[in-house]
Structure 1
Amino acid sequence: MTKTKTKTKAWMKRTTATIGVACLGALALVACDPEPSVDAEVERDAAVEVDGAGARPLGAGGASGASGARPQPSAPSKAKEHGELVVHPPMPDAEKAFAEALELIGEHYVDPIDRDALYTGALEGVMSRLIQIEGHPVNVLLSPDELDELMSGTKGTIVGVGVMIEMVADVLVIRDAIPGSAAAAAGLQRGDRILGIDGERIAGMPLGEIVRRIRGPAGSSVTLFVQRDTEEWDQKLVRDVVTIRNVEAKMLGDGLGYLRLRGFAETTADELDAALEALSGAGMKRLIVDLRICPGGLLDAAVAVTSRFLDEGDRIVSVSDRKKGDKELKAEEQGRWRGIPMAALIGPKTASSAEILADALATHAGATLIGAPSMGKGSVESIHELDNGWALKLSSG
């Protein structure tokens, strides 16, 4: 058995999409609906009393799924039409049959076989049979480039052009252009469609291949064919180091502060403190925390952020490990921002660490949850690096 080197970071993740996760990079590998307009929807949602008067929480336990049962692998599907993938139930003596099948393929297949390609595809198939959530990669095989992107995203920086992307009705759409990035400087904006990369149309191209083509080393360039309404043009962008802002804050008036979280990286807790300091200085008396488009991120970061609003000893989350049993994570000190009347906005794109925060705010800080049920991910992922530089992202709790 191949020896694995377990990373100490734990992941909880829209699927930033993870190169993600979510999440956290400028190329979010999550297939989500178009992001709601902050200026329009938050102003509307702000009309709800933050102290909870007249607003109905979405369940006594907080965010839907934040502490719920883990989703289970789907049952084998029935046979599909000819040419489509069929998911079979487990066969007897499958390990022996696998080795036998490889030998038969090598002996009888019409073309020469790249065994590394076969083994890689087989491992991808193995990972697909583990717990998965639609639109949110949970258990996946990571190439060295994907691993580097994932880990750099946890530190709040990536190399790229600064677009967060998603697939909407099979069309690649810009969900956000990160401030200070090449994309933002070029005027690309939310809702723009990317139809081609470096002169090649991307219709039908796998999302992973699209991301690979947009990525590249700092200083190199990529040309995106962009559509906005009826206008189309080629936009050349130079890749560079992009600083990811995971916290956005502003005053909405009448003492009401607005705080939006995009993800949970190593820098998020410090960003949160700085944002709340600014809001407090501007006269904030009540707070809206917007988690509607937040795929999650680092578990440690989620605990640090959540602790800011709780009393010492308040339970944040319980993590179950097959080998180590249950472990409760609690606030280790009095939260700096506890006691602020709050509401949290959640929805189907609220996942993982964001669900932990929402649940704890409702349970311990008296926050009202407003919106729709959250994703209900309910698992923690860990990264296990293989000797060849590839890695597995696995549900481990």
Structure 2
Amino acid sequence: MIEWSRQGQTHKALWRSEGGAPAPRRVEVADDTLAADTAYRMACEGTGLLWQGDFQNARHLLQALKRRADRKPRKSAAKASQKLAGATPAEAFHLHRQAQAQRARVLAAVLIPLEGDYGIALRRAPDWRVACTEAWGPATGERSVATLRELLGLVGAHEWRKKGVEVPALGAPPNNRIHPHYGVFSPVRGEYVDLVAQAPLPGHGLAFDIGVGTGVLSAVLVRRGVRQVVATDQDPRALACARDNLARLGVPPQQVELLQTDLFPPGRAQLVVCNPPWVPARASSPIEHAVYDEGSRMLRGFLAGLKDHLEPEGEGWLILSDFAEHLGLRPRDQLLGWIAEAGLTVAGRHDVKPRHAKAADAADPLHAARAAEVTSLWRLRQA
């Protein structure tokens, strides 16, 4: 719960945070009279600003906080540059993550009250009830509070879900769109999908898709002629998202079985595909689990269990970026060691350079690692 005082009365409401962040300990009611510099100082001190003014002015305030968070004082900027210049790639990565976390805490200061039906009872407030329902489920009638930043992300996800993401590997438009749900990682980095679409299949019988997400890889396998897919995920949102996308693409429900479990379903398959998170670091929100895998838990679990779920002549396809290697977080020898320890051998590898915008952004603090990054499909067999 979150608590605040107004006109001598104490108010309480349900606190909503996708990432599990605690409600601010101190909450002040704020409106259009609050100056941006004062708001920034309060946000840096950890004070939540419960908005009671014009909704569009809350958006303007959030933009003002962003400008101040990104505008470093000259001395601080010089000091940070010196620190980065002498840092190892791993240290630079952790400094970057710390800076991101601090920025996120400041921008989370603007709070929006929601009515029991997810309505926003502020002047010039939009109607985001549908987007909230998609993300949080049906309204329960209980008043709640969320950060404006999280609400904007939620609405952005709602728009992505409506519009969809074109995936050329699924064929020609209009039957090649994937519609990601809130909290499910979007297949915007299409290079890994292309690898699955192009690698030679070991057979067209049973395949396992470990960590189904949006269902894009299951759909690609079906389009390539794989007769049966069993797709797994721990996240109910991902399973619902995959089910929706496969239905939109016209995949018969009996051709792809969706199963809520950690990693492998029972049995063995000719092909086992897994695209685990690429960076061995702690995720700060649920959706970041698609990118960050603390201790390489999913990667190591997949490798350790793969042999027991492969048919004798089957293959495991591990889709993995070497971004962590360039950051000094996981050396290539360690990955090869885990493969050998699992009783596996590398039958082949298919590589592709990433096409995302950050790979060409020289201003990115991690540009050197991003520019060198390669995404690979490792074809693994029983040794």
Q: Same fold (TM over 0.5)?
A: no
Structure with more of its chain in helix, by fraction: 2
Greater CA radius of gyration, 1 or 2? 2
Q: Please, what TM-score do these two structures have when normalized by structure 2? A: 0.27
Q: Please, what TM-score do these two structures have when normalized by structure 1? A: 0.27
> Which fold has the larger relative contact order, with Cα–Cα distance below 8 Å and residues 6 or more apart in sequence?
1
